[in-house]
A and B are shown apart, each in its own frame.
Chain A
Amino acid sequence: MSATTMTVTPQDAEKYEEKEFGFWLYLMSDAIIFALLFATYLVMVGNAAGGPTGKELFSLERAAGETALLLLSSTTFGVAAVALSQGDRPKVLLWLGITFLLGAGFIFLEIGEFRGMIDQGAGPDRSGFLSSFFTLVGTHGLHVSVGLSWIAVMFGQVVFKGLTAPVASRFMRLGLFWHFLDIIWVVIFSVVYLPGLL
């Protein structure tokens, strides 16, 4: 397969622009979902119903680790994006793969965190505070997991189709998605973990 078939007709360019614009709108609707989850969390953060609070449950090290993994994965995705614009297929695959591993590491840490809390009796069914915590952080984790499967699919498409225009367009949208999740995580870190621990 040739390295790149990225010549794009004006109609196709229009089509890709529309897809990107539509994807932004989807991200805005997703942002509202997260905003409401944040609002719910902030309202319910004091509703521990006599059970454990953030101070007892959160671990700064693990939260920092998760942050590092996710932020790094955004950077590696960026490297892959640059490789895409250069038409460098092996490089795209490499950095996409690293992104996947970093994201998977994030999910691994998060599942560990959730498991630990549930084992301690601090599961989402313990109190309103914990319900809102698990839902907010868990929804983000779910999005990251979907992102991981998308990265895997993207990997496959690059392998089998090469760096064609449609593949590049999807890649860009994946990038928007991945970076968006990064931003949400930064807010989670700032709104949930830091105040919970300080």
Chain B
Amino acid sequence: MIVRQAIAYRSLALVIGAALLCGGCSVIDGPVLDPKGPITLAERDLLFKAVAIMMVVIIPVFVMAALFFWRYRGTNRNAKYTPNLAYYWPVEILVWGVPAAIIIWLGIHLWHDTYKLDPYNEIDPSVKQLQVQAIAQDWKWLFVYPEQNIAVVNELVFPAGQPLSIRITSDTVMNSLVIPALAGQIYAMAGMETRLNVLANEPGKFWGRNMQYSGTGFADQQFRAIATTEEDFDAWVDKVKAASGTLDASTYEALAKPSQKVPVTYYSGVEPNLFDSIIAKYSHGDTDRMPATAAHAAPAAEPAAEAAE
């Protein structure tokens, strides 16, 4: 009975290992483990560091479990049996102390990296940021480029190597903007502004989407995020500027109506102050609104170059 169980445990381990290996292949190329920007690279590094340090606790648990479950099975009369061993202070010191030490080490990294990777921080403030305003709608994303006076639905194009500074709000329920290969997510909420700073190291095609369930069209609320060369970006801007439609108040209202699987749409002009007016529509000067930058400390002194390492 016990031997059967041991064999079963080993087979279980094999099955899991195989499954993980098979799954692991595609995962290595997945957005989280193969990041394409300094933010996600830093986030992944923190993940690896944390996993590594936690192994100090995890591996002993697995080893002890395997050893103890086998050695101390009731029928094994060779093993020592001490039925009243209920306390041993060195063990106590170890099991409280080692995890505490790990948590302190982790805490330092947590604190440091949370400040460094605050989504509100501009990546390398010494460089000009590309300003984009993102408005979540049901069930699509509207991106406004205020400096170029263009707007796009479901496509975010930007030059690789130039930091992208996105101001985000919602004209519907709570959404969450993410481009997994490049930057972690942040909520989009009506009447409030949040910020996300993104940087792609090299040109590439990525995807972004809404991560906060928002209704029937949620599954399709995905957009293309494309990092291009400088020239290609300028060419793209020109292409958008050649579009026939502009995003004025009435076009915006029509667009904001619920729709799913919306194809990429270009607008060659944008209603001035559109983004701010959408926020104002909801916020009425309320005092508890999400402050855009008030709560967030000044960007850390570390330049983007270090983050891009």
Contacts and interface: CB of A to CB of B under 8 A. Distances in A.
A–B contact at 8 Å CB threshold (below): yes
Contacts of A47: 284, 286-288
A111 B216 CA distance: 43
A47 B287 CA distance: 6
Interface string B73-104: 00000000000000000000000000000000
Nearest to B288: A43
A48 B284 CA distance: 8
B288 A44 contact: yes
A43 B284 CA distance: 15
A134 B286 CA distance: 18
A54 interface: no
A36 to B, nearest CB: 15
Contacts of A45: 287
A125 to B, nearest CB: 15
The majority secondary structure among interface residues of chain B is loop
A174 B287 CA distance: 40
A46 B286 CA distance: 6
A44 B287 CA distance: 8
Interface in A39-54: 43-50
Candidate in A44, A47, A48 with the most chain B CB atoms within 10 angstroms: A47
Contacts of B287: 45-47
Interface string B253-293: 00000000000000000000000000000001111100000
A49 B288 CA distance: 12
Interface residues of A, number: 9
A128 interface: yes
Nearest to A51: B284
Contacts of A46: 286-288
Nearest to A129: B286
A47 B286 CA distance: 5
A49 B191 CA distance: 12
A46 B287 CA distance: 5
B284 to A, nearest CB: 5
Contacts of B284: 47-50
A144 to B, nearest CB: 29
B290 to A, nearest CB: 13
A17 to B, nearest CB: 35
Nearest to A50: B284
Contacts of A48: 284, 286
B289 to A, nearest CB: 9
Contacts of A128: 286
Nearest to B286: A47
A196 B118 CA distance: 37
Contacts of B286: 46-49, 128
Contacts of B285: 50
A79 B239 CA distance: 85
Interface in A10-57: 43-50
B285 to A, nearest CB: 8
A37 to B, nearest CB: 16
Interface in A48-72: 48-50
A43 B285 CA distance: 14
A50 B282 CA distance: 11
Nearest to A43: B288
A24 B55 CA distance: 46
Nearest to A46: B287
B126 to A, nearest CB: 37
A46 B285 CA distance: 9
A27 to B, nearest CB: 30
A49 B287 CA distance: 10
Interface of B: 284-288
Interface of A: 43-50, 128
Task: Please name the 9 residue pairs, one residue from A and one from B, whose CB atoms are nearest each other, closest first.
Answer: A46-B287, A47-B286, A49-B284, A50-B284, A43-B288, A46-B286, A47-B288, A46-B288, A44-B288
5 contacts: A43-B288, A45-B287, A47-B286, A48-B284, A48-B286
